[in-house]
Amino acid sequence: MKKIRILMILTLLMLALASCGKSGSELNEPDDDIGEELEEPEKKEKKTKKQKKEKENDPEEPKEESEGGHVEVNYSAMYKPVFDEVLGVIEYGYNMDKEYDYVSGGLSEKVMYNDDEDLMETIGYYIEDISGDGVPELLIGCDEDYYGDGESKSFIYSAFTLDDDDIINTFSGAARSSYNYLGDGHFYYFGSGGASITIFGENHISEDGWEVIWDDFYFTDEKDDGTVGKFYNTTGVFDIDEAEELQISDRQFLRKMDDYEERCEMIPWEPVGGYLNSISRIKRKANSETGLTEKDAAKIADNIGGTVCALECHDYDGNGTNEAFVVIGEDDEYGGYYPDAVWFIADDGTTKVMRTDFDDMSMYSDESGYYVYNPSENVGFFSAECGGYGSGWLNFIFGVKDGRPYEPDLSMNTEGFYIDQYDEFYTLTDNFDDGHKYMITELEYDRKTGQFRKGRVTEENWGDW
């Protein structure tokens, strides 16, 4: 705490010196993020406490029966979309090109700048009726010694509540816009933006859990004369014209911040990795002989998001248990697909992205399927043709070796990947000596490495087969 206080005192003293003799335009402008962080959530038609209570008894909601026979709502299941997205980001990384519904800036920062922590254990969740309306809120966050002073605090990345079946994001935090729990439904907020702005204070969430209500809101900002002033209101509005200017010393101002810091309580997080998530895990029966079933794979593929363009569930490496490959994308205008990614689904339901680059090509639809199996080798591959609907194309190829998925070097480097009547792999070689012919070309498969090598180009034209 002393380190924080000393740092803030030095900062304010430097600001006071720097502002002397300067015009407002010469001082640092506040970050745009601050305004965004303090924006009020979008107003929606709210349900009353009575309506929410009535909804709890709706037979269509997920419920659990306690030992006494009382039926209770399974709120963990109702927050499943949040868990699915949070677990997906932790396991597969944060995609800056994707729009997330439930991933905050704080969580994305934690994932992108992770120091080899097991985030499934580090990041936690807490389900508790904080607002007091009988409907538990969901908090996502983690414990961290953010300031390096040996004192860990529970930082909250996001807070959610429920409105019927809708999930409402009450607030979200980030590195320079953080929330900690003060107990009794109240939170401590600290934010900063630029050299002249420090924001902190206490707030609580409304009874319905929809919005933040400020109890005390302190901030510093540049005044018209170029000096930095200290301000206070109870509205949470970052505007010196709507706040009282405090005539107190820097130490008195920072002492208020310390008082909040000392009141922060630890949150008893449950690790998010313990939450059963159908994207990456599914329960198995103890007597299951084949592991992953096609139904399992289809359910996991649906939960990844996007159109399932192709799905093949088989025992690819011949070890007695099934795995699956799936292509996620969208339909193109010619009956094929625009592939976004090839995913692997292991026999235990865990998933892995295998490829996301397809050179802007379409994936051709194939009614015969996308599984190429060699019974002599007892090995199978997932393959599809990709192209621009011209005379040429490329095949992606994926296999499994010793339970691990891989993409052979031949993938996206050959035109065609097939099996003949003699259980031999082959590909095609273009020949333009007399029109455009596709010559059958032998493929030599090395079972030890799982790789292929192009062999003899035959005189047989694929078009004559």
Give 433's contacts (C-beta < 8 A, 6+ positions apart). Answer: none
Choice among 129-133, 286-290, 351-355, 390-394 with the minimum mean pLDDT: 286-290
- Does the structure show a pLDDT above 60 at 22? no
Residue 54 has pLDDT above 60, yes or no: no
Give the rounded percent of residues in the chain with a pLDDT score beyond 90: 56
pLDDT for 82 = 92
Res. 52 pLDDT band, cuts 50 70 90: very low
User: What's the pLDDT at 23?
Assistant: 33
pLDDT at 201: 97
pLDDT tops 50 at residue 342: yes
Query: Would you list the domain boundaries of the chain?
Result: 2-272, 286-464
Higher pLDDT, 35 or 258: 258
pLDDT at 73: 61
Lowest mean pLDDT among 90-99, 172-181, 404-413: 90-99
Q: How confident is the model over 165-221, as pLDDT tens digits?
A: 789 999 999 888 999 999 999 999 999 887 789 999 999 999 888 899 999 999 999
Q: Which of 36-50, 132-146, 256-270, 435-449 has the lowest mean pLDDT?
A: 36-50
**pLDDT-derived band of residue 465, with 50, 70 and 90 as boundaries?**
low
| 51 pLDDT higher than 80 | no
